[in-house]
Amino acid sequence: MFTLLLGPWDELSEAARQVRTQVFIQEQGIPESEEWDDMDALCTQVVAYNSQGEPIATARLLPSQSGTAKIGRMAVLLAWRGQGIGALMLQRLVQTAHERGDQEAVLHAQSQAQGFYELQGFETKGGVFDEVGIPHIVMSRPLGLKCK
């Protein structure tokens, strides 16, 4: 069992930092200097908590750019992967972007997660590229469509 909270960085930063530190910095070896940026303070955050109130997943929605929403920093703790948390967080951010008037959502998916995003209605745009030492691919989807 888990719950999702959507809100600004100043309310959810501690929880989001815990998850992103564990997944991106410790597990994937991304340098701390590459993980944190000034955009966090401008983003809508989503954090999933387990039944004990511990953060277990997070993602962010960047400010709209000409009707395009960018979703990023999606992280789910290893023990919680494969339980639908990522899909629900993604649905929540897609819905939020649609409600604010965005027409399209884009993201930089780690190549190994491409299938997950395809199940959520995202399509590949272009080839594989390196981001922080990890193969990524740009994916997008029109908004207003339901995630699976």
**Torsion angle in degrees (nearest 10) through CA of 3, 121, 109, 104:** -90
Q: What angle do CA 55, 57, 58 make, to 5 degrees?
A: 105
Q: How confident is the model at residue 1 (pLDDT cuts 50, 70, 90)?
A: confident
Asked which of 32-36, 57-61, 129-133, 142-146 is least confident by mean pLDDT, the reply is 142-146
pLDDT at 146: 56
Q: List the beta bridge partners of residue 103.
A: none
Mean pLDDT (the chain, rounded): 94
Domains parsed from the chain with CATH numbers: 2-142 (3.40.630.30)
pLDDT tens for each residue of 110-132:
999 999 999 999 999 989 999 89
Contact 24, 30 (CB under 8 A): yes
Query: Mean pLDDT across the stretch 25-42?
Result: 94
